[in-house]
């Protein structure tokens, strides 16, 4: 499964601008994320993917890179991780143990599931780990350049932040023997040996070889250095980076004035909010994981949902009540199934298996959907997962088993019981939804029982609720025999 190359308009315009300033390439589209906690920022990756696809659609060569900041120091402990991990503050994520012991490191624990989701989405992306880039020498040249231009970099940081930087500030963070990357002071640069001499927090002198990943550039400098080291021509940024005085302001100047590298094309995206919860944030635990979302919708629908019409605008994701409408609109636009999602949810929850579901859909008039069993089975699984995990209570249905049904029926009065038994005698498997609806209604009128009370009896013995989906099609769709059995059991 691969994504559609026909890019949305905003991505095409962005690609045009990138080509105008950076030429025909080859292009390098980068998205960078720190695996310091659960990675949820799918929107950023999708923005980058859309622009990469728009460049590819112009026939250009594109390398699409996910830069995982695995060498970054741990700054705060992610929700769910033991507080004892504070002992690793300042250590590279790639060198801290996995809090749950299931992966090679802290970084891998959060990176691997995200990587798997990207693969599941059919994304054509290269995942690079920054500690490996440093270790293999990809950053050696830019690190030397940064160290040689320490004064200029320091000035840029001061001018943009308005803060006085320490006299001995260095763009490079060597790793002390303790594993800590922070708080060490660079004393001397040995450019011919790719080394720095430093003094750690305890006053011990050490030497770090920057061609072997024995340290890293500070993150603001690294942003600009990365553009040059990887030849980046496009990178999206969230609005927090692009605010005045933000990291892109310093990186832009460092790139032009120090690294002499043209600033890559940019797209500023806004946040995704989750209805009822607020802005997505891993530190607050407000996250939607791609792997969970792929349980309720296909990859391209997920792309559409996360990006919205224009990712420069914030959108609120509604995975509850508003979700069926999104799915229906998506299917209408892309030529997907014509079965309304709410109906599919009903069928998925009541049918015993896929063949039975196909039968219900056929009786409901959805012949085409019933015929394509392979895609029906996938649609049903999305609907079933949504119903179980995210549907509002009103749409959550399960047909009661005989014992539960008998128990629920105990709350009915005599009038309702005899109504159900009368209905049971009239039901026949060849009645369609309309016919059943009509029969349920006329039987109520004929027995002078209020329709609302009569229908409540039907829902009570089938679903354990006083109301539910339109009764006629619902009852007609249920497997033959089940309804009669439940209705007659109420008499016992």
Give the footprint of Zn ion on this chain (CB under 5 A).
98, 100, 102-103, 109
Nearer to Zn ion, 108 or 379 (CB): 108
Nearer to Zn ion, 67 or 109 (CB): 109
CB 288 → Zn ion: shortest distance, Å?
20
Nearer to Zn ion, 60 or 74 (CB): 74
d(CA 424, CA 407): 18
CB 101 → Zn ion: shortest distance, Å?
7
d(CA 482, CA 489): 11
**β-bridge partners, 185:** 199
Give the tokens for residue 361: 């859909």
d(CA 148, CA 145): 5
Strands of the sheet containing 126-129, edge to edge, are 126-129, 62-68, 27-33, 234-238, 265-269
- 271 close to 311: Cβ distance less than 8 angstroms: no
In angstroms, the Cα distances linking 148 to 175, 189, 253, 278 are 19, 8, 16, 45
Nearer to Zn ion, 98 or 200 (CB): 98
Got the DSSP string for 135-186? Answer: HTTTTHHHHHHHHHTHHHHHHHHHHHH--PPPTT--SEEEPPTTSB-SS-EE
CA 247 to chain centre: 25
d(CA 384, CA 425): 32
Phi, psi at 424, each rounded to 5°: -60, -40
CA 273 to chain centre: 12
Nearer to Zn ion, 100 or 321 (CB): 100
**β-bridge partners, 188:** 197
Helices and strands counted in the chain (H then E):
22, 13
Nearest to 423 by CA among 440, 437, 438: 440
CB atoms within 10 A of CB 226: 29
Nearer to Zn ion, 78 or 186 (CB): 78
Give the tokens for residue 318: 């509604």
d(CA 52, CA 136): 26
CB 104 → Zn ion: shortest distance, Å?
8
Q: Left if phi > 0, otherwise alpha if psi is -120 to 50, otherwise beta: which for 448? A: left
Nearer to Zn ion, 105 or 211 (CB): 105
CB 103 → Zn ion: shortest distance, Å?
4
Nearer to Zn ion, 109 or 384 (CB): 109
Nearer to Zn ion, 24 or 100 (CB): 100
CB 107 → Zn ion: shortest distance, Å?
10
CB 358 → Zn ion: shortest distance, Å?
40
End-to-end Cα spacing for the chain: 54
CB 114 → Zn ion: shortest distance, Å?
12
CB 131 → Zn ion: shortest distance, Å?
17
Query: What DSSP element (H or E) covers 63?
Result: strand 62-68
CB 232 → Zn ion: shortest distance, Å?
30
Nearer to Zn ion, 102 or 151 (CB): 102
CB 294 → Zn ion: shortest distance, Å?
20
């Amino acid at each position: 499964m691969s994504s559609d190359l026909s890019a949305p308009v905003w991505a095409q315009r962005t690609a045009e601008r990138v080509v105008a300033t950076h030429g025909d390439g080859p292009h390098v589209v980068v998205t960078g994320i720190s695996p310091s906690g659960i990675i949820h920022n799918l929107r950023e990756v999708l923005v980058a993917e859309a622009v990469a696809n728009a460049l590819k659609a112009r026939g250009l060569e594109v390398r699409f890179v996910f830069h995982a900041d695995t060498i970054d120091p741990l700054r705060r402990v992610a929700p769910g991780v033991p507080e004892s991990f504070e002992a690793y503050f300042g250590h590279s994520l790639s060198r801290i143990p996995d809090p749950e012991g299931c992966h090679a490191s802290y970084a891998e624990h959060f990176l691997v599931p995200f990587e798997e989701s990207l693969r599941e989405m059919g994304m054509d992306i290269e995942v690079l780990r920054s500690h490996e880039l440093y270790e293999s020498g990809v950053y050696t040249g830019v690190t030397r350049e940064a160290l040689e231009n320490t004064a200029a970099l320091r000035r840029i940081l001061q001018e943009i932040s308005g803060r006085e930087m320490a006299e001995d500030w260095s763009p490079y963070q060597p790793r002390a023997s303790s594993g800590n990357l922070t708080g060490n002071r660079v004393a001397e640069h040995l450019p011919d040996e790719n080394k720095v001499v430093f003094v750690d927090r305890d006053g011990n002198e050490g030497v770090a070889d920057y061609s072997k990943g024995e340290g890293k550039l500070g993150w603001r400098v690294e942003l600009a250095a990365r553009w040059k080291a990887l030849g980046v021509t496009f990178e999206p940024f969230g609005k927090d980076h692009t605010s005045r005085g933000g990291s892109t302001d310093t990186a832009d100047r460092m790139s032009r004035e120090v690294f002499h590298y043209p600033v890559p094309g940019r797209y500023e995206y806004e946040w995704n909010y989750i209805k009822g919860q607020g802005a997505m944030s891993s530190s607050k635990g407000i996250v939607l994981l791609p792997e969970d979302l792929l349980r309720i919708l296909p990859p391209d629908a997920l792309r559409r949902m996360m990006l919205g019409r224009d990712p420069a605008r914030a959108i609120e994701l509604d995975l509850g009540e508003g979700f069926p409408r999104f799915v229906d609109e998506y299917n209408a636009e892309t030529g997907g199934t014509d079965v309304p999602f709410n109906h599919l949810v009903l069928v998925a929850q009541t049918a015993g298996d896929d063949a039975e579901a196909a039968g219900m859909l056929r009786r409901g008039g959805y012949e085409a959907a019933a015929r394509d069993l392979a895609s029906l089975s996938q649609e049903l699984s999305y609907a079933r997962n949504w119903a179980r995990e995210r549907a509002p209570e009103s749409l959550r249905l399960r047909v009661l088993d005989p014992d539960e049904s008998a128990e629920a029926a105990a709350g009915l009065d005599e009038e309702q019981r005899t109504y159900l038994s009368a209905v049971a005698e009239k039901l026949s498997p060849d009645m369609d939804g309309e016919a059943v609806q009509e029969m349920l209604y006329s039987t109520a009128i004929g027995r002078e029982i209020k329709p609302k009370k009569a229908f409540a009896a039907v829902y009570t013995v089938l679903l354990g609720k006083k109301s539910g989906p339109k009764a006629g099609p619902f009852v007609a769709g249920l497997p033959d025999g089940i309804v009669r059995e439940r209705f007659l059991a109420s008499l016992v």
